[in-house]
Amino acid sequence: MTPEGLSAGGNVSTVRHFVLLGFADLPELQGFLSGVFSIIYLVVLIGNSLIITVTILDPALQRPMYFFLANFSSLEICYVSVTLPRILFDLWTQKRNISVLGCATQLCFFLMLATTECFLLAVMSYDRYVAICLPLGYPLLMNSKKCAQLAAASWLGPLPVQIGQTCQIFSLHFCKSNQIAHFFCDIPPILKLACGDTSAHEVSVYVVAMLFLAVPFMTILASYSKIISTILRLPTAQGRAKAF
């Protein structure tokens, strides 16, 4: 006998779909968790939608800082929409099955949006660096065309790498089980289900993660270090307070 979702092929079994265990071990809290996650999702949608609407409609906010803030709010809506609706569906229906294609799609979007978040935070720190440390050059360095290019690079830059990484992970043969010990499709629990040695795949995942985390982090650290240094050198307390 093979577990549900596994089909026998020779001496091994291959996964036809996955089962997201999530909060299956907390049956008495299903209703409470459903209510909590529903409220969280609504707050995220409404709050970030208001930010986007205000930055678009208010002429006083037609500046790079608020342009990137609107992008970040859009990202947050997309980010939570990758995982929370699926969690709510599982809580409401108790049907935890997800197809291999659906799992791969969720993982790919999760990875792309996580990377976009890192890039956008780095771009926003660079925007503040230019505004405070290079105020005379700010209109030239952060014009509307440059802002659009930086935003597009943040959104589109991760696409090829994360699509390739997702394809690499799902090219593995899964035969150990079809039960993902998580509430959405993520790399570590998926790799645990793969047959054979996955060390090479794990190394590639860590390398990509370090690159996509380290570069934005260093940019953020350098930008705010320079910003703080510049602010502390301002001659008046009023000027320092305004800059902060």
Q: For 30-44, write each residue's pLDDT tens digit.
A: 788 889 999 999 999
Share of the chain above pLDDT 70, in %: 93
Is residue 208 assigned to a domain?
yes
Q: Which two tokens stand for residue 147?
A: 């802002």
- Residue 72: which domain range? 12-243
Q: How far apart are CA 126 and CA 134, in angstroms?
A: 11
pLDDT band at 80 (very low <50, low <70, confident <90, very high): very high
Is residue 2 assigned to a domain?
no
- pLDDT 10s digits, 176-213: 788 888 889 999 899 888 888 888 888 988 898 888 88
Is residue 201 assigned to a domain?
yes
What pLDDT score was predicted for residue 241?
Answer: 77
What pLDDT score was predicted for residue 171?
Answer: 87
Is residue 1 assigned to a domain?
no
What pLDDT score was predicted for residue 3?
Answer: 52
Count up the domains in the chain and report the number: 1
194 φψ region: left (φ > 0), alpha (ψ -120 to 50), beta (else): beta
Is residue 238 assigned to a domain?
yes
Distances (CA, A) of 95 to 24, 90, 242: 10, 5, 54
Asked if the model's pLDDT at residue 139 lies above 50, the reply is yes
Sign, CA torsion 58/60/63/68: negative
> What is the pTM for the complete model shown?
0.85
Is residue 5 assigned to a domain?
no
What pLDDT score was predicted for residue 13?
Answer: 47
Is residue 40 assigned to a domain?
yes
Q: What is the CATH number of the domain that holds 57?
A: 1.20.1070.10
pLDDT band at 17 (very low <50, low <70, confident <90, very high): confident
Q: Which two tokens stand for residue 214?
A: 């380290």
